[in-house]
Amino acid sequence: MHSPNLNRILTILLVCLLLPSFAFAKGLGLSPHRAQFAAPSYDQAAADETTTPALTGKKNIGRAVMFSLVVPGTGQIYAGSWLRALPWLAIEVAGWAMFSTYHAQGNDKTSEFEKYAGPWQNHDSTAGHFNLDAYLLREYQVASNAQWSTNPYTSQNGLDDWVTETWDERIDHLPAPYTHDVLTADIQQYYEMIGKYYEQFGYGWNDTYDHSVPLNSSAPETIWGISGDDVATVKFDGQSAMFYLYRDMRGEANDLLEKGNTMMEIVLVNHVLSALDAAFAARSYNRKLEAATLGSMDLKYDVKTDRFGDQMRSLTLSVPLPTLR
C-alpha cells in the first residue's frame, strides 16, 4: 500500500546522496593550526625547538563522512571514537528492526482484510464478505431509474449488458455518490474503495441484502431493506457490521505500514546526522593530533653579559609553530 510520506522519504534520500559533495568542500577540514607565517627577511636558521615534523596519521574528513553516510557510526570509529559511534549504530539497528516488524505486521493485516472481503471482483457470496454481483445490481437499478438518473440506462438484456459496459459508459448514467469504478483493474484501489465509500459500496456487503432473492434484473429494490436501507434514497443508508469490521482492519494495516515508513525516515535522517557528526569527530581528532605534535610553550629566564661587561637579564618565551608548508 502506498504511503503519504513517500515524498518525504525520497527528499531525505536525496539529501543523503548530495551530502558527500559538501564533505569534500575545501574549507571543511581547516584547522586553526594551519595558519601560514611569513618567512624572515634576514638570514637566520630556524631554532630546533620551533620546528616540528609534518603531521602524520590525520583522518580524512570526507572519508569519515562517506563511512557514516553508508553505515552510521563507522565514520566515528574511523575517527577513533567508539563511544561516539555507539548511539548512531544503535539507532540504525533499532530503526531497521522496527521498520521490518511494522511492515511485516502491516502486510499480514493487509492479507487478512483482503481475505475477509474475498477475491478481487468476487462474484461468490460464500468466498468472502463483499459480493460484486450484489453491488452491480444496485448500480444497474440506480442507472436505469429515471427518478435518480438524468440519463436512464436502457438495454434489451438489462443487468447482463450493464456489467459488460466500460466505466466511461456507466458513469454517464450514474448520479452521485456513484463516482468510483468497482470494476477497476487496480486491485489495491478496489480493496480501498469498498472499505472507504460506504454510501456507494455498502450495497455489496453480504449482511445488507436478502440472499433468498436472485440477483438479476427483476430483483426488487427492497432486498436491501433488511439492513435498514431506505429504498427512497439513491445512496446506501443502512447498517453493515461487515463494512465497519473491514474498515477497521484496513485502518489497522495502514497504521502499521505508516509506522514502518516513519521508522525508515528516522533511519535516513540518522545517516545524514551521523555523517555530519563524523566530520566533526574527524576534525576533532586532527586538532588533538596537531596539538600533541606541536608540544607546549617554554618560558626561560637567563642572565647574559654583553660586550661591554654589563649584565643583562632576559626572559625568552618559546612558542612552537607548525611546519611551514
The reported pTM is: 0.70
**Nearest one of 321, 273, 281 to 58, comparing CA atoms:** 281
Residue type, 87: P
d(CA 109, CA 252): 7
Q: Count how many residues are written for the chain.
A: 325
CA-CA distance, 6 to 260, in Å (whole number)? 12
Cell of 86: 555507539
pLDDT at 26 over 70: no
Q: Nearest to residue 105, comparing CAs of 97, 95, 93, 94?
A: 97
Cell of 50: 620551533
Strand residues in the chain grouped as ranges (E):
298-305, 311-318
pLDDT score at 308: 75
Amino acid found at 260? G
Q: In sequence order, what are the beta bridge partners of 304? A: 312
Residue 309: left if φ>0, alpha if ψ -120 to 50, beta else—which one? left
* Residue 53 clears pLDDT 80, i.e. is over it: no
Q: Which residue has the higher pLDDT, 130 or 304?
A: 130
Is the predicted pLDDT of residue 50 greater than 90, yes or no?
Answer: no
| Alpha carbons 16 and 267: distance in angstroms, whole number | 11
Q: pLDDT higher for 123 or 294?
A: 123
Task: For residue 291, give the C-alpha cell.
Answer: 596539538
| pLDDT of 75 strictly over 60 | yes
Domain locations along the chain: 6-40+53-111+257-318, 132-204+206-239
